[in-house]
Structure 1
């Protein structure tokens, strides 16, 4: 192709015009620019299905590089590098995409090249078929509004249109489209408004369409006339006036409608609306009856032009009002509990009436008590219980009060007489939030049982959290033929309950208790709070407060006390019942510091220890403990011998009485003949210095006669061992009688072995002197008396004039049981006087006994 810009010269070279050269230069520049642009792109990106794909589909993405790209080739998905691509050939790599779920950008990059290439993939769905096309004319002269359901979201730009075609008689107008818009409150709903003209008999045909890049859809055609779709505006409800059982109200703004419908429901607990039959008229005054007293109700209304024309309007805005009060219609359900206090205080409980039962605002309760002893009393309260009642037998009546009156009386007699209880009460879990309680009928229940209780009129089941009967008591009444029930209300998981089942008779009640039931349980989350232990000797008393309710998480079955020493070494643990609040530990080694803490256990296991431990120390025990028991024993040991001696001396009024009392106290009941004793015979042979005249019979002595006194000579200390009976041969000291063996044992000192009968009788002075001092008959002490003085130890004239009383007092000695050896254990402490006194002369004339 040749471009000429001037004239050709014959026979000469071709000549070009200046305009032709400029055209060639511009073309070459454009080609170079295009080639340079292609040369700047190191790669191209493409897809096997294009840049618009269906959500969830699978395809391939390719990256094709220029031959000049010899570096590493990579692919990125939304700016994140992927290593899942594969090689197609030396210049192309590709990636398998499966189940794509959103719009995605794929980027191809040649390492070292500053500019990448990429591909944007758009995803979505084709539109669904539009459904449920409906049209309504708002008012008799308003526009027509059509609605339909568009289906699922396409995630793509989608065109929504309503097509309208009108038929006027025999002529048909062309179709007109109106763009649709989505609803904010319901994204799947599309609506279109369009104006109408013509008569009410004009027929209309409408249909909806949807389209996007992935496809299109068209609904079925909906045909109508304006008479079919006209809808009046909602009316207005006003002037609502109520009495206790119904309400009157007025409906206005019906716009020539001939039909009316109203509905009502309780406003406090919204439930389904109750529709009342429609009526006819232009202005309506409506009355609704059979309502409940003291209840707030809501009312709505709607209208329709006629039975054949138009559709029902929307419901009006609700209007509410209260019905008036009436006296409560139901008697209270009353029950009672008895405390463990000394006066057996009674607490009355009653259930609150429901709104339907109360028929007004309950302003209080009146309780009338007729006590058989104290008479009638009346009290008012706003609570649903009253406590502090104490009566032997009371007839109780309880009323609920509102502004219109009182409820029917609830009569109750307390305390009820005990009767046969239900048998075999059992608790088992019904679910995680309910428990089944079952029992058997009382064994002897019924009129023919002979118990006088009559037939069972019903059962009552009560339950409450452990230890919280007064404030958390719940109960349920059952019929006489019911022997099980399920507790679903007022019961919480991880809480321990107890209660009882009562068999109710006409004038009696039988109670069967059950305890420790729960719906769900875990180990306790904390232990009990331990108080500082009280240490008394080797006894340690530990007390504690129970685990708080929120930490028990079930029924506590026991507590465990742990004891460790100061080095942290385990000593012992003690398990206590859940009902206990203190425990006494014994037998811990003294002189040791100890640490103590506690845990609580449920059936699920043992919980953690208490938050802190307490310390205590056990002191070493001395020989004489601080205990009152040791003190009393010590005082008894010291005082009893003194009391015994004084009692014996008090009973002896003369030597005759003394001998008789001592023999009676110290000798057995059967007394052998003193003359036959070995000691008496040996003393007679030896002719000792001691002459003893002993009365053989009390009957031979006159009551007025005084026996001779006993003379004792005190010798210097140390003269006992040097005394020789052979050197003293005074006839006044010879032994002319026999001394009783018991007296022999009594008068023998402990320091000298009793091997020599002649010396035994002498060393009795220690005992006699001490006896004399204890009796108080001597006015001087032992140290102040001279050694050459004769001592009258027991004088008979001291007790003169009191013989009758003392003879009666001798019987007191029979109270004491004298052992075989009367000096042990009572007499030995009285004989240790270090031998300061000796018996020098004892003159007892026994001739009177022989007369």
Structure 2
């Protein structure tokens, strides 16, 4: 009753509103095709104005979703009506008319929607789910076809048949446009229904259409409700699953998967469940593995149910199996070995391993127990012994994996020809291939590692005797690798063939090496030392190094070193300032130069002993050649006579000494005339009475070479005696002459004082003597250097203090 009253009130209000609007509107709009039109069609829109609104009439239009209005060009239909031709409409549009009215009135408008009529629904599919023993639900789905851009309505019609009774068609449900291509509807049916027919009707303002009829036998589309897993209990190899179901089914299917493999596997044994709760045993599982399980069920006919939610559980541990994969390598430079091991891909319970046990069978002692995270260990070196490694967990030990130390001793390696190995890098993969040896092997082992990092990055794989190649796929690009292929004939016969430095990708190095130098200036050489490039900057396998050496003026000289070298000595350098830098090269080219360093090669101030000996021999030979010349010999005797006392001329043989001995006590000494630069107070010759006294010399050294001796006994008479007294031994010195003294003359051999032998003005007279005189061949006076001379006195009226012999004058004249 209340619903009826509200309906009447709403209708009355709508009617009053419509009348009010009609009385106040300035115009009326309508379309020749209505307000719902098909896309691509053409029609006219008419606008009739109120008779009171005659001026400034116009028509406007705006598209769907647009706020901008567009003024349109219209045509006059009659005095009160105008119209617009619309061609091939493609979207929803709004039209309006404007007019000047007195009094003002509201403008009028019209919304026109454009779309398509519905397509025939297709691909109808229905599933009959049994909810309880009495009822079930039918879920039907279909494809709606293309989008119409209008409000569509879909009705699912069902006609059920129970036994011999056929019911009428009834609309099971109505579905509105959901904007999706696949639509569905759900309705219930009693379990007594055996057959049903379904079809779908689609409609919108532009038309209506029905799908074809689809007939179903419900037992063919029947599906049990989704079962649920209650619990999962596992041992090391089996798991027990308890399943809950709402209805009894005849088939139950179980699927499981290892969580690491992510692939479901179906347990093959068929199982029939006749009661809602049933237990299922899943066998042949791996220990120490985490599994997920799910189930579904099916009646004797019909469809499988949907899969249940998955439940996971882990199987229990077992002793690790199979044996580990073990490899053994010697440590360079040390008396030790390093044993490596890895868990086989077929091993189980690898996650449960708590430690590894290493044992040397030669002395049956455990070397070490290491943690589960350790994969290698150094052990003392032993020859002809076996090393075994076992994995340990809470359930026990794995079978021992043994390896002998024969292959670590080069002497014990099999004396067979090395393999012919080829390596090829392609598509980030390196293929190592070889020819099968003449002697049939037991198996092969291929090892590889990053260059210089054998102990840290060693990897290997074992191959059977029929394989002759292996593809290495885990190599990093721009990194250099080395390796070897081992051929096992038996436990005591193993051969090894290394393969070269290889890389999957290469480029020129990114930098040059760091350089140091040691300069040896005396040997005129420099020793260059450099370090390895960092792995990230090598960009592949280094093939060579280039050393650039440049002095201050010349072009750089190039020296090359192999990739394995780290020291290079450059000899034969001349004294200069040098600059030195280096670069590295791969097979793809030379990298940039490294840091430049400078050093100096200095002159050697000290002559070597060999060079000094050569110069001395050359000087002596040159002097001997010159000595053969008379003039040279005379010049040497003049210059160096003061240094040779044995060849000093004896004054006793001079003409002056003989005249002095004829007139005893008198000496006639003529002074030379002097030039204007020399002043002398006396111009006449001075006659001097000289009394000579001679004293015997103790043991003069000059007696060995001079036959004249100062002695009172003589066989040649008085003249000879006076002459002998007058000429003392060669060490007697004559002091300089004094012009104003008539005191006694002293002839002394005292060498304790430095004296001039002949004054400069006396020397000029002595040079005037005849050089051809046999008694005075050379008027030169030289001193004797003997230190054993006794003084010889000569007493008279004149002392010869003014007479001196000066060797420097002779050197000056020479």
TM-score normalised to structure 2 length: 0.59
- Could you tell me which residue of structure 2 aligns to residue 558 of structure 1? 544
Give secondary structure in 2 for the equivalent of 1:470. helix
* Pair 1:301-2:295 in alignment: yes
Give 1:360 deviation, angstroms. 6.0
User: Closer, same or farther in 2 for the Cα pair 1:148/1:66, shift >3 Å?
Assistant: closer
1:602 is aligned, of 564, 583, 586, to: 586
Structure 2 unaligned spans of 5+:
1-22, 29-47, 65-69, 76-83, 96-110, 617-639, 655-701, 708-753, 755-783, 790-806, 808-814
Return the alpha-carbon distance in structure 2 between the equivalents of residues 585 and 182 of structure 1: 91
CA contact (8 A) 1:500 1:512 kept: yes
CA contact (8 A) 2:157 2:169 kept: no
User: Closer, same or farther in 2 for the Cα pair 1:286/1:64, shift >3 Å?
Assistant: closer
CA contact (8 A) 1:562 1:598 kept: yes
* Pair 1:245-2:237 in alignment: yes
Give secondary structure in 2 for the equivalent of 1:378. strand
2:50 is aligned, of 8, 30, 36, to: 30
- Could you tell me which residue of structure 1 aligns to residue 128 of structure 2? 136
2:566 is aligned, of 570, 574, 581, to: 581
Return the alpha-carbon distance in structure 2 between the equivalents of residues 583 and 367 of structure 1: 45
Return the alpha-carbon distance in structure 2 between the equivalents of residues 635 and 265 of structure 1: 91
User: Closer, same or farther in 2 for the Cα pair 1:145/1:389, shift >3 Å?
Assistant: same
- Could you tell me which residue of structure 1 aligns to residue 434 of structure 2? 439
1:378 is aligned, of 361, 367, 383, to: 367
- Could you tell me which residue of structure 1 aligns to residue 197 of structure 2? 205
2:281 is aligned, of 287, 295, 308, to: 287
* Pair 1:509-2:494 in alignment: yes
- Could you tell me which residue of structure 2 aligns to residue 195 of structure 1? 188
Give secondary structure in 2 for the equivalent of 1:505. strand
* Pair 1:263-2:271 in alignment: no
CA contact (8 A) 2:129 2:225 kept: no
Return the alpha-carbon distance in structure 2 between the equivalents of residues 288 and 315 of structure 1: 17
* Pair 1:497-2:501 in alignment: no
1:518 is aligned, of 494, 503, 509, to: 503
| 1:192-242: CA deviation from partner (whole Å, max 9, x where unpaired) | 112335x62253211235567898875443223554444332222233222
TM-score normalised to structure 1 length: 0.56
* Pair 1:348-2:339 in alignment: yes
User: Closer, same or farther in 2 for the Cα pair 1:421/1:127, shift >3 Å?
Assistant: farther
Correspondence 1:384-783 to 2 at 5 A: 384-416=375-407, 417-419=412-414, 420-429=416-425, 431-442=426-437, 445-446=438-439, 455-488=440-473, 490-506=474-490, 507-524=492-509, 526-537=510-521, 539-562=525-548, 571-585=556-570, 591-592=576-577, 594=579, 597-610=581-594, 613-616=595-598, 618-624=599-605, 633-634=608-609, 717=643, 719=645, 722=648
CA contact (8 A) 1:529 1:544 kept: yes
Return the alpha-carbon distance in structure 2 between the equivalents of residues 426 and 174 of structure 1: 81
| 1:451-484: CA deviation from partner (whole Å, max 9, x where unpaired) | xxxx522211111111121221111212223222
- Could you tell me which residue of structure 1 aligns to residue 628 of structure 2? none
- Could you tell me which residue of structure 1 aligns to residue 766 of structure 2? none
Return the alpha-carbon distance in structure 1 between the equivalents of residues 317 and 592 of structure 2: 56
Give 1:176 deviation, angstroms. 1.4
Give secondary structure in 2 for the equivalent of 1:551. helix
* Pair 1:274-2:266 in alignment: yes
CA contact (8 A) 2:433 2:469 kept: yes
Return the alpha-carbon distance in structure 2 between the equivalents of residues 210 and 721 of structure 1: 157
Return the alpha-carbon distance in structure 2 between the equivalents of residues 548 and 398 of structure 1: 35
2:303 is aligned, of 298, 308, 311, to: 311
Give 1:66 deviation, angstroms. 8.1
- Could you tell me which residue of structure 1 aligns to residue 353 of structure 2? 362
Give secondary structure in 2 for the equivalent of 1:278. coil
CA contact (8 A) 1:139 1:231 kept: no
Give secondary structure in 2 for the equivalent of 1:37. strand
Return the alpha-carbon distance in structure 1 between the equivalents of residues 178 and 584 of structure 2: 62
- Could you tell me which residue of structure 2 aligns to residue 764 of structure 1? none
- Could you tell me which residue of structure 1 aligns to residue 6 of structure 2? none
Return the alpha-carbon distance in structure 2 between the equivalents of residues 216 and 377 of structure 1: 89
| 1:624-668: CA deviation from partner (whole Å, max 9, x where unpaired) | 37xxxx7xx549979xx9xxxxxxxxxxxxxxxxxxxxxxxxxxx
Give secondary structure in 2 for the equivalent of 1:624. coil
| 1:106-146: CA deviation from partner (whole Å, max 9, x where unpaired) | 99xxxxxxxxxxx9997999758532522333513243221
User: Closer, same or farther in 2 for the Cα pair 1:607/1:180, shift >3 Å?
Assistant: farther
User: Closer, same or farther in 2 for the Cα pair 1:715/1:536, shift >3 Å?
Assistant: closer
Give secondary structure in 2 for the equivalent of 1:241. strand
* Pair 1:146-2:143 in alignment: no
User: Closer, same or farther in 2 for the Cα pair 1:221/1:332, shift >3 Å?
Assistant: same
Correspondence 1:782-821 to 2 at 5 A: 787=786
CA contact (8 A) 2:545 2:560 kept: yes
Return the alpha-carbon distance in structure 1 between the equivalents of residues 544 and 499 of structure 2: 18
User: Closer, same or farther in 2 for the Cα pair 1:132/1:578, shift >3 Å?
Assistant: farther
CA contact (8 A) 1:137 1:226 kept: no
| 1:132-161: CA deviation from partner (whole Å, max 9, x where unpaired) | 522333513243221234467677765454
| 1:524-570: CA deviation from partner (whole Å, max 9, x where unpaired) | 3x214514544443544444433332333322223344567789x96
Give 1:344 deviation, angstroms. 4.6
Return the alpha-carbon distance in structure 2 between the equivalents of residues 339 and 508 of structure 1: 21
Give 1:328 deviation, angstroms. 1.9
| 1:261-302: CA deviation from partner (whole Å, max 9, x where unpaired) | 222222232212223412232132211111111112222222
Give secondary structure in 1 for the equivalent of 2:159. strand
- Could you tell me which residue of structure 2 aligns to residue 708 of structure 1? none
Return the alpha-carbon distance in structure 1 between the equivalents of residues 534 and 499 of structure 2: 22
Give 1:346 deviation, angstroms. 1.6
User: Closer, same or farther in 2 for the Cα pair 1:539/1:733, shift >3 Å?
Assistant: closer
Give secondary structure in 1 for the equivalent of 2:57. helix
Give secondary structure in 1 for the equivalent of 2:537. helix
Give 1:572 deviation, angstroms. 4.1
Give secondary structure in 2 for the equivalent of 1:423. coil
